[in-house]
Structure formats: structure tokens, C-alpha cells
Amino acid sequence: MISVNNVHKSYTTGKEIIKGVSFEVQDGMIFGLLGPNGAGKTTLMQMISTLLAPTSGLITIDGLNAKDNLLEIHRRIGYLTTEVRLDPMSTPDKLWDFFAELYDIPIKESAQRKNAIFGNLGITPFKNKRINELSTGMKQKASIAISLIHNPPVIIFDEPTNGLDILTSKQVTDYLLDLKKDGHSIILSTHIFSVAESLCDEIAILVDGKIAAQGTVDELTNLAQAKNFEEAFFKIYVENHVEE
Ligand SMILES: Nc1ncnc2c1ncn2[C@@H]1O[C@H](COP(=O)(O)OP(=O)(O)OP(=O)(O)O)[C@@H](O)[C@H]1O
Ligand SMILES: [Mg+2]
């Protein structure tokens, strides 16, 4: 379980970017973070992934916190950022083997997992191509596979379908649903409403560093008295955004 408790973050003194955010994600749940550019989604996900320390507040993964259990938390988290840079001269296959060794994954297990994930995400046909010869979507799929190399129970994906066509996007969202069925807890951010609607058990709408509303797609739509989720998002944004 992921627990985020009254988390605040300032990059510079006097300007708070995350202003007291709390939520919980149970095992086997997909939790969506939606919000306009600059709302603080990436900042929040970097803090949950321990890459960034909160200014105050507490984040725990299965009861463990980054201060006391950093290594164990890293073992439990798979994090996909929007700014991954894979070695341009390597290949998906070689990168997988490199990271598998880094994570001490036994060779046989690594080969099995590689085949399964590469198959599920459709990476196999280009697994021996150089990264600098891959399309945006191919690179994204390779990044997703490698972020899951250690089979982490907790998955934090920042805009996983960014730049993907609808076919590739569906491969990724279907795969996330499989992972959810296997009991993984997943936090994802997205700007794509259909992705949020088809995947998320619960959604938090982040506006100016605060959760403006939280619930299922239906709950949020009813709450905003909107005719669909997209309209609900706009209404919730307009009601909560404050110009500085
Ligand atoms: N390293 C940093 N130093 C200072 N300010 C930062 C830093 N990273 C992000 N910010 C600021 O924090 C705020 C939130 O940024 P963040 O990247 O978390 O938003 P986001 O919700 O992920 O947006 P997007 O949808 O564009 O990805 C923005 O105002 C941004 O300028
Ligand atoms: Mg972001």
C-alpha cells in the first residue's frame, strides 16, 4: 500500500508547489493523477519514488519510509519518468541484460521475464535495434519494460502513454491492467481522458498543488454535475484554480 500523508514541497523558500496532499493506494488498485501542466504531478511522483524529498509530510510504501528503508523501497518501486534517456548505442535486449545484472536477477529468471514483457509490449521485433534507431513509441515501450525489470509491486508511471499511437497505447494500458490483476499498486499521471477512464479505480484531480477532488470517474462526474468526465475536469479546474 502507498500512503501519502500531508505532503508539502517547496523548491525555493516561500513558493509551495505541493500544498498538503494526502491519499492512499491499496494493493491491486490503479490511482490516477490528473491536472493541468505545472499542477505538481511529476513533483509528487518523484517524491513517492524517493528521488525528491518532501519539505514536510510522510510517504510510506508498505509501511516503509525513505529515511529508514531506502534500499527496500527501491526494490519495491518501478518508476517511469517522462525524461528517460536510454543509451543511444545500446539495444532493448542489451539494456535489459545490463539492468538485470545490476539488480542481481538470476539469468534464467531474467530471460523468462524478458521474453514475457517484450512479448506483451510488442518489443520483440525491434529488441536488437539500436536505441537511436527506434521511434518515440518504441523507446517508450523499452523504457516501460526496463522500469519493470525487478517485478516491483509498486508502479509509478508518469504519462506512460505519452507520444504513443492508439494501438501502442492500448498495448501499454492492457499490460497495466494485467499488472493490476496480479496485485500491483499503480499510480499514473496522464493528460488523456480515455486512459484515465479505462484504467483508474480512483482519480485525484490536482490543481495548483492541491487535490481539488478525488473519486471514481462516476463520482467525480456526479460531484461536478457534469455530463461527462472531461466536462467534470474543466468544472473542477475552474472552481479551484486561483490566478497568482
Ligand atoms: N526542479 C525544479 N525547480 C524549481 N521548480 C520546479 C522544478 N521542477 C518543477 N518545478 C515547478 O513545480 C511546478 C510543478 O511542476 P511539475 O513538473 O510537478 O508539474 P506537472 O503537473 O508534472 O506538469 P506537466 O503536466 O506539465 O508534466 C511548476 O510550477 C514547475 O515550474
Ligand atoms: Mg509532469
The CATH number of residue 160's host domain is: 3.40.50.300
| Dihedral-angle region of residue 54 (phi above 0 means left; psi in -120 to 50 means alpha; beta otherwise) | beta
What are the two backbone dihedrals, phi and then psi, of residue 224, each rounded to the nearest 5 degrees?
A: -85, 0
Question: Quick check: is 111 in a domain?
Answer: no
| pLDDT at residue 162, rounded to an integer | 87
What are the grid coordinates assigned to 161, written together?
Answer: 502513454
Question: Quick check: is 112 in a domain?
Answer: no
Where are the extended beta strands (E) located within the chain? 2-12, 15-25, 30-34, 56-61, 64-65, 77-80, 154-158, 185-189, 202-207, 210-215
pLDDT in tens, 214-241: 999 999 999 999 999 999 999 999 999 9
Domain that holds residue 209: 2-84+152-240
Question: Quick check: is 187 in a domain?
Answer: yes
Cα(22)–Cα(140) distance, integer angstroms: 30
Cα(227)–Cα(159) distance, integer angstroms: 26
Q: Of all atoms in ligand 1, which is nearest to the CA of residue 12?
A: 4
Using CA positions, which residue lies closest to atom 16 of ligand 1?
40
Question: Quick check: is 136 in a domain?
Answer: no
A 10 A CB-CB count for 89 gives: 9
Cα(226)–Cα(244) distance, integer angstroms: 27
pLDDT in tens, 129-184: 999 999 999 999 999 999 999 999 999 999 999 889 999 899 999 999 999 999 99
Residue 10 scores a pLDDT above 80: yes
Question: Quick check: is 142 in a domain?
Answer: no
> Exposed/middle/buried for 60, CB within 10 Å: 0-12, 13-18, 19+?
middle
Q: Residues lining ligand 1, CB < 6 A?
A: 11, 17, 35, 37-43
Where are the extended beta strands (E) located within 103-238? 154-158, 185-189, 202-207, 210-215
Distance 129 CA to ligand 1 centre (A): 33
User: pLDDT: is 216 or 86 the higher one?
Assistant: 216
Question: Quick check: is 141 in a domain?
Answer: no
Residue 108 scores a pLDDT above 90: yes
At residue 29 the predicted structure's pLDDT band, cuts being 50, 70 and 90, is very high
Cα(67)–Cα(89) distance, integer angstroms: 36
Pure H helices in 9-135: 41-48, 66-76, 92-102, 107-121
Cα(94)–Cα(103) distance, integer angstroms: 14
Using CA positions, which residue lies closest to atom 8 of ligand 1?
43
Question: Quick check: is 109 in a domain?
Answer: no
Q: How many folded domains does the chain comprise?
A: 1
Using CA positions, which residue lies closest to atom 1 of ligand 1?
11
Question: Quick check: is 117 in a domain?
Answer: no
Cα(149)–Cα(114) distance, integer angstroms: 8
| pLDDT at residue 195, rounded to an integer | 94
Q: What is the mean pLDDT of residues 82-99?
A: 92
Q: In this structure, which ligand is nearest to the CA of 38?
A: 1
